Structure 1
Amino acid sequence: MDPDDDGDRSGYGDREDDGDRESGSDRRRNGARIGRVSLRVADLGETTAFYRDVVGLAVLNRDGDEAVLGVDGTPLLVLRYDPDSPDRSP
């Protein structure tokens, strides 16, 4: 048993920054990437406010039925208004 083993098997805690970053994605050692995420939402204004005020993302662009949010100018989340999307507000 390793006394320094914290039990984390996610592979994220020991990741070294190799400087190989692509806009809107994060490359992991196994080659997997996390890119821009798109969500269909019933209330674009309320959902945009949540990701801006609670999560801390900046609104990079808001045009009609779509809002793009991200960090440091990098788009991470695209919200698209869809009237058929289930309303999940409490």
Structure 2
Amino acid sequence: MQNLYYYRKYIWQNALQDLRHRYAGSALGYVETILAERVLSILCWNPAYYFIKSFRDLFLFNQIPPWNAWAIMMAWAAIFVFLATWVLHRTRPKLRDLL
């Protein structure tokens, strides 16, 4: 166990390097600078954009996402929880019969 504690820094660096190589060819590996400005303004309305951008910043660039990205992610999460709760309450009688 002490060896694992001693090598934890190297294990973490190798894991991050593996993540960088694994996601380099996927959409997580792309940066926003390759997109046109009008496409980026439309992309910002996608709920998954800030989640993916935060994942990319955290794991690929070793940067903590800015506070406004956290606020936007929490707002989208609250909206989806509210919508899911609303749909569940509206369809509860039908789901009971269906199950």
Q: TM-score, normalised by structure 1?
A: 0.27
Richer in strand (by share): 1
Higher helix share: 2
Larger Rg: 2
